[in-house]
Structure 1
Amino acid sequence: MNLAVSFTKRFSLGLTLLFFAGCANQAEKVQAVVQPVRALTQQPVPSQSRTATPDLRPLAAVGGYRAASISGDYAGYSTLNQFIDFMAQKHGFDRAYLNGLFSQAKRKQWTLDYLVKSDQSLKAKPGKGSWSRYRAKFLDDRHINSGVDFWQKHRTALQRASQQYGVPAEYILGIMAVETTFGSYVGNHRVIDALTTLAFDYQRRGDYFRGELENFLVMSRGEGIDPAKPVGSFAGAMGLGQFMPSSFLEWAVDFNGDGRRDLWDPEDCIGSVANYFAQHGWKSGQPVVSPIRGNLAAAGSLEPGLDNQYPLTVLKQIGLSPADNCQCDYPLRLLQLRHQDTDEYLLGHPNFYVITRYNQSTHYAMAVHELARAIKSGYLSQASR
């Protein structure tokens, strides 16, 4: 969720391609040079979280953690001690409990090194064939067939989510396919290790990850989870949908009705992804992308990407229009997809932009879209036999 938006805006969720199906999505969200440091004494610990609020329920943090001071990898981190004071004051956490918990946290040097390399690779503009290479990693039999099987197994929950939130089942599945291939790999990094490392050793985005660490602790307590137990991506994204903790608190739902929000549970993940889309503006019955008709050479005169919108009247003035004759009373985005020998241009509708709220990447959203259509085709084909 699962893990949905870039580090510079939200890092939504999540995330996912170099060493497992989820890794590249996380890498595309890295927007800054990583400079790991041992202690960030010049950076105050902000009370910046946009999600976590003081929890007025009984404070029953799980796990027998207790220590007078922090030992282990994070002994001597002044910013971590400030953070513990902040959590005690804002959320009522016991300082000794957090001292004990963070004494168990491990510094993940691999993560810091990986982010340095990822950021360097992301500085370059997409070259020839970039979309073809990205697409090939997802549009394969494994992802499609897994999606068909998952739909058959969970069709009741998918139908209920579609009816309740107005989001087609195939787009819920498209997210889960790209993020974790329906839970076949949800990550093997302890979330407490990942978030502590990035909160206190990732100088460029430490403020963001301190907010996510705050949300994770509030989330764990609220859901009755031992915070040292959950595992996820190297950046702290969790579950089948790879939600970051802030996304969990804001958009995760208890869709199976057992009284807990559990993104490792397929039904809860289905409902949570659908709710995420609905809350970000998904419009039922509206298209996602349209092919372009007209003077395709004119597309080169427009700036493609998610940050630029063009009313249909403007597009028609230069000889472009949606090939499917949509009645578009809203601006569209020009999408450029680079194949090896040519560039393909499409028009993105608001629903396409909603997908990018999960991960701010044209490639990511197109992979979700194409997988959604392929999975639906496979499911209907099997159902008709």
Structure 2
Amino acid sequence: MRSSLSTRHQPVRAAALALLAACAAGLATQAAAQPRPAVKAVVGSTPYATRDDAMRFADEVAARRGLDRQWVRATIGGARFLPNVPRLMLPGPVGTVKNWQVYRSRFIDATRIAAGVRFWRANADLLARAEATYGVPPEIVVGIVGVETIYGRNMGNFRVIDALATLAFDFPQGHPRAAERQAFFRGELESFLSTESRTADDPMVPLGSYAGAMGMPQFMPSSIAKYAVDFDGDGRIDLVNNTADVIGSVASYFKAFGWQPGMPAIYPVRFDESRLRKDILLAPDILPSFSADSFVAAGAVPDGEGQRHRGLLALIELQNGANAAPTYVAGTRNFYVITRYNWSSYYAMSVLDLGNEIKAAMGYAPAPQPVLAPAPAPLRSQPRLDAQPMPLPLQSTPTEPTASQPLPPASSPRQPMPLPQ
């Protein structure tokens, strides 16, 4: 199978390689679409051909992958440092307060909803087939592609080779996980150079995000290699222009990370203050860790079907700035799976809300009530006899994954989006 995100190169002559390295500096980094985020790819003056560490890495990649050594050296050597990219990777200042309402407003608007309706109508058969094949409903796929790129409108204007090389060799050392993240991007650069992960015959051409994500769904190179599919059977995988492959690949990704067909991703939740143990409920972060019974026993009461949920739940806290109370929902395994696409509960909620708004606009469901305000007023009940409740164990149920079907790991090939202040 040939892939426009996965093409096989042939060894080329040394003269051609030298020409490639020399000309790489002159390639434009102009976008076919608007960037995401709204920053320009500012290119530095020094190619990585002058860096000993970059050339050593090129030799290691060539040996591990069985690639032509001179081709790998010329490709990495032709990459340029992007001085604005490392700054984009740094976390916000300590004490920065997140704001779910501001974050949501960036992604849930009339423009995206209208574009999502057009995308759904144009690809209804493909979305239905993806759900039948992978168990992932259309609103999730449509929500992902809408949040990521507005259905291909904003796929990024950074040359991928430049972005990945910059983060592989010049990741900001002020980041609290600099060594781990730099190793991650070196792996992505290696994957990009492999036969499974390049977007075109010439690796200097593909454009993407400042983190090196590509196409309508913004897949990282390793995700393309692992999860992208040729959903229309034309013999190639194209995540830039082929909506069939985009839809199938997003659904394939979610299935691989453990999406459960038919399971809601969230439930509304109310608090019983007489027994509320928010410290216990928030301790596992967004990892589903509590049975419905233990969730209620700790003072968090899901609405409706949530009280009969047979899997595990997590209490999801969404901050609303410094002057408003947080919003809370009960997250299921499927909510956690969405965060494997991007490590952010705010991102996952935006995907859910956008998908549901589009679904309602299609006439498939009532208009959703956005989760914007703080949690409803707490339930009032009789005080518990035990003034100091015992810590609740992280309980499992027979319906949850076993060793043969674990929850996805707490790592992800996606790069988190910055949260608003």
Report TM bin, short chain.
0.7 to 0.9
Shift of 1:321: 2.5
CA distance in 1, matches of 2:139, 2:16: 43
CA distance in structure 2 between the aligned counterparts of 1:331 and 1:101, rounded to whole angstroms: 47
Task: Tell me which of 187, 192, 196 is aligned to 2:161.
Answer: 192
**Residue 209 of structure 1 pairs with residue 185 of structure 2:** yes
**1:244–1:311: structure 2 CA closer, same or farther, 3 Å change rule?**
same
CA distance in 2 between partners of 1:100 and 1:325 (Å): 58
Deviation at 1:225, TM superposition (A): 2.8
Distance 1:333 1:228 in 2: 43
Counterpart position of 2:40: none
What is the CA–CA distance in structure 1 between the aligned matches of 2:9 and 2:106, rounded to whole Å?
A: 45
Larger radius of gyration: 2
CA displacement 1:198-227 (0-9 Å, x = unmatched): 111115232211110110011467776321
Q: How does 1:133-172 map to 2 (within 5 A)?
A: 133-172=102-141
Deviations, residues 47-68 of structure 1 (Å, cap 9, x unaligned): xxxxxxxx9x976269995139
2:294 aligned to which of 309, 314, 329: 314
RMSD: 2.7
Fraction of identical pairs, as percent: 38
May I ask how many residue pairs the two structures share in their alignment?
322
Distance in 2 (alpha carbons) for counterparts of 1:325 and 1:69: 60
Aligned to 1:225: 201
Alignment CA distance shift 1:350-1:251 (3 Å): same
**Structure-1 separation of matches of 2:216 and 2:195:** 17
Question: For the Cα contact (< 8 Å) 1:190–1:230, is it kept in 2?
Answer: yes
1:323 Cα deviation after fit: 0.6
Q: 2 CA distance for matches of 1:66 and 1:76?
A: 16
| Unaligned 5+ runs, structure 2 | 1-5, 23-45, 366-421
* Match status 1:359 vs 2:336: no
Q: 1:139 to 1:222 in 2, by over 3 A?
A: closer
Classify 1:325/1:65 alpha carbon distance in 2 versus 1 (closer, same or farther; 3 Å): same
Which deviates more, 232-241 or 254-263?
A: 254-263
Q: CA deviation at 1:307?
A: 4.1
DSSP-derived class of the 1:229 partner: coil
**5+ residue gaps, structure 1:** 1-54
1:377 aligns with 2:354: no
d(CA) in 2 for partners of 1:195 and 1:318? 45
Q: 1:141 to 1:87 in 2, by over 3 A?
A: same
**Counterpart AA for 1:266:** T
Specify the code of the residue in structure 2 equivalent to 1:346.
Answer: V
1:1-385 → structure 2 map (5 Å cutoff): 60=10, 65-67=16-18, 73-116=47-90, 119-121=91-93, 123-124=94-95, 126-127=97-98, 130-202=99-171, 204=178, 205-219=181-195, 225-264=201-240, 265-293=242-270, 295=272, 298=276, 300-304=278-282, 305-307=285-287, 309-326=289-306, 327-339=308-320, 341-380=324-363
The normalised TM-score by structure 1 is 0.77
Distance of aligned partners of 1:319 and 1:105 in 2 relative to their CA distance in 1, 3 Å threshold: closer
TM-fit CA distance, 1:308: 6.2
Deviation of 1:286 (Å) = 0.8
SS at match of 1:195: helix
Range 332-341 or range 278-287, more displaced: 332-341
Distance 1:192 1:251, change over 3 A: same
Higher RCO (CA < 8 A, seq sep 6+): 1
C-alpha change, 1:197 and 1:112, in structure 2 (3 Å) is same
Q: Is contact 2:55-2:77 (8 Å) kept? A: no
